[in-house]
Amino acid sequence: MPQNKVQVPRISDAVAASLERRVLEGSLKPGDRLPPERELALEFGVSRPSLREAIQKLASKGMLQSRQGGGTYVTDRLESTFSDPWRDMIGSHPNLHEDLLEFRRMLEGQAAEWAAERATDADLQRIDQSFATLSDTFDADDLERRSSADIAFHQAIGEASHNALIGHLSSALLRLMHDNIRLNLGELQGIPAAGSLLKSQHAAIHGAIRDRKPQAARSAAETHIDFVRETLAQSLRSAARRETAARRLNTDFLPSTTS
């Protein structure tokens, strides 16, 4: 037997690696259904048995899952392993909201900087589309739609950073914060000029990435999160004062129990 025999990769291994790469880069997202077997086999130029073997390899890793009724889907394993333990803790520990915003500032600042450096024409098109959708939501009174559009915009930037960890971490973090983002927007809705400021902040992020200005993009992303953090903190302080004042008022007018 030759000692230096070249190891030729199995066809199924090569196909599995290609599919896995698509999941890592975000071309295939959690919940996406794989194309039909015949179509996918034709795309890769392999037999259907080889394709099935490749899919089974990824299914055994927990990255793909066959569902009853047909079809193979991408799981959320890469993201849920991060977000699931935190979701319950956020509900029990409100102080974690501040930590999440602090972490989001760091992550999105870096993502915006790298997106300005690395985004392809296709990335910029996605960012343009998500920004246009987000801008439209500022003219409507639909918090669910606006929060979803907000998440899509920031996720498009995370993926345009072309760093797989940033792409998946930002996706997991934004999904984790979905309810919190909607509540944040609800709080900010009652603050004069907050809507126009948020709109201009997103425009600044979009413009800096479009103009290929990495430091300006980072600064715009960080400024946006700083505004959200400070404005929400002020709103919460005002709400606490109102509650305290209301309790005092009610106490002052309680019937006296002393003779």
What is the per-residue pLDDT for 172? 80
Please name the residue ranges forming H helices in the chain: 11-25, 37-44, 48-60, 77-92, 96-118, 121-137, 143-160, 164-176, 178-189, 194-210, 214-252
End-to-end CA distance of the chain: 107
| pLDDT tens profile 80-134 | 666 666 666 666 666 777 788 888 899 999 999 999 999 999 999 999 999 999 9
Structural contact between residues 189 and 144, judged by C-beta atoms closer than 8 angstroms: no
| pLDDT tens profile 9-35 | 689 889 988 898 888 777 888 888 999
Enumerate residues 6+ apart whose C-beta is below 8 A from 159: 25, 26, 123, 126, 167
Q: Which has the closest alpha carbon to 149: 176, 120, 182?
A: 182
Count of C-beta atoms within a 10 Å radius of residue 229: 17
pTM > 0.75 = no
Structural contact between residues 185 and 150, judged by C-beta atoms closer than 8 angstroms: yes
| pLDDT tens profile 217-230 | 999 999 999 988 88
Instruction: Tell me the average pLDDT across 226-252.
Output: 69
